[in-house]
Amino acid sequence: MDEFVTVGRNHRVIGVSFATDRQEVIYFDPEFKRLATSLAKGMPNLPLIRFVDSSQDERKLLIWAGSDKDAGHYFLFDRGSRAMTEIALTRAPLDRLRLVDVRSVSIPTPDGAAIPAYLTLPAGSTGKNLPTLVMPHGGPSSRDVWGFDWLAQFWASMGYAVLQPNYRGSAGYGDAWYLDNGFRSWPTAIADVTESGRWLVKQGIADPARLAIFGWSYGGYAALQTSTTTPGLFRAVIAVAPVTDLGRLKEDRRSWSDYYSTAEFIGSGESVESGSPARHADKMTVPVMLFHGTFDRNVSSEQSKLMDQRLRGAGKQSKLVLYDNLDHQLDDSAARQDMLSQSAAFLEQSFAAGK
């Protein structure tokens, strides 16, 4: 179970949410259950429905509805008159653009596991021999779910196939899948990400000469670490706000109240040495691009600076882009647009250079 579903200013509990392939809700309140069922039938193209808020008496509801290829709409619903009025779009500039379906896939591993993942293919493509990105999620104690993802949709609009694997170490699949988390159990988590890339090639989806990896936070760590454990599988690496040295990540929390829990979460000993991509920059064989906000309190920008320094010191191709006063999410439209623009140009140049 993910969380309780509440409504109104008093946060009255009306249900509980969980995720399988998709986010779902079990409603305790019979009226909201009937309403959710009715809305889903009436808006089949917007199957993801959330009750965002309500008036004090719960007669007027703010409702959000969206899908994998629709960033979402906000509606005002009057329970008395049964009238529903659209009041806003989540991402209005995307309203006239053609977005694409996201489908669930399962990736077999050599040790008998099956990695749940989401595959997004560009519109009008054959689904074969495409420039492709593996895009592991952050966390690592998190997971991807079916729905709209601005990064996946951007890359699909640029002609890329995108695969988002919920590697072992992801949350939401039980203790056996979570293992000891994606840092302490990094060899398994990273092997799953690597196997996701191999699967794309075996399926004929990815052109092996145009297969790259893009990750944010732990996803950035995974992108870099796969390129030290399996050099050359991914022909280019893009890491946004990545962890690059596990030992330094622990030390960065030394003066914080969560230091001991963070240190326990990351682990110690040989796994810190072998699991830190900045300590193995000499093994990387492909171009790397790094992005980081200088006001990142989650993962210090010093992590990216260290990776860039080590790569350059080893004679590797690396470019670091820093955004002043932005945090871990780079929550600024201009910065995100710049990041995407530079990333697209970087991949194009990297693939051309590798021919």
Q: pLDDT of 45-87, one tens digit each?
A: 999 999 999 999 999 999 999 999 999 999 999 999 999 999 9
pLDDT at 56: 92
C-alpha distances in Å from residue 286, one per residue of 109, 182, 194, 292, 339:
25, 24, 15, 20, 19
Over the chain, what is the mean pLDDT?
A: 95
pLDDT at 265 (0 to 100)? 92
List, in sequence order, every residue forming a beta bridge with 322; answer none if it has no partner: 292
Compute the CA torsion angle 51, 53, 55, 61 (nearest 10 deg). -30
Q: For residue range 110-136, list pLDDT tens digits in order.
A: 999 999 999 999 999 999 999 999 999
Instruction: Give the pLDDT confidence of 294-340 residue by residue, as tens digits.
Output: 999 999 999 999 999 999 999 999 999 999 999 999 999 999 999 99
Instruction: Tell me: do 309 and 258 sit in the same domain.
Output: yes
CATH code at 243? 3.40.50.1820
| 121 lies in the same domain as 89 | no
Residues 217 and 108 in one domain: yes
145 lies in the same domain as 247: yes
**107-111, 251-255, 288-292, 302-306: least confident range:** 251-255
> Considering only CA atoms, which of 101, 53, 93, 95 is closest in space to residue 77?
53
pLDDT of residue 355: 67
One domain for residues 107 and 67: no
224 and 256: one domain?
Answer: yes
One domain for residues 83 and 113: no
Same domain membership, residue 250 and residue 113: yes
Question: Is residue 155 located within the same domain as residue 107?
Answer: yes
Distance, CA of 311 to CA of 105 (rounded, Å):
35
Q: Are residues 129 and 87 in the same domain?
A: no
In Å, the largest CA–CA distance within the chain is: 69
Two tokens at 247? Answer: 């030992």
Q: Do 70 and 215 sit in the same domain of this protein?
A: no
Q: What pLDDT is attached to residue 95? A: 82
Token reading at 214: 């893009």
Q: What is the pLDDT of residue 353?
A: 85
Residue ending a domain, among 51, 67, 94, is 94
pLDDT of 354: 73
> Which has the closest alpha carbon to 286: 233, 222, 240?
233
> What's the number of domains the chain is made of?
2
Whether 5 has a pLDDT exceeding 90, the answer reads yes
Domain hosting 48: range is: 3-94
**Averaged pLDDT, 262-271:** 92
pLDDT, one tens digit per residue, over 208-237 is 999 999 999 999 999 999 999 999 999 999
pLDDT tens profile 84-106? 999 999 999 888 888 999 999 99
State which of 94, 125, 151 marks the end of a domain.
Answer: 94
- Do 150 and 234 lie in one domain? The reply is yes
Asked whether the whole model's pTM tops 0.85, one would answer yes
Whether 2 has a pLDDT exceeding 90, the answer reads no
Examine the fold and report which residue of 94, 113, 137 is the final residue of a domain before the chain moves on.
Answer: 94
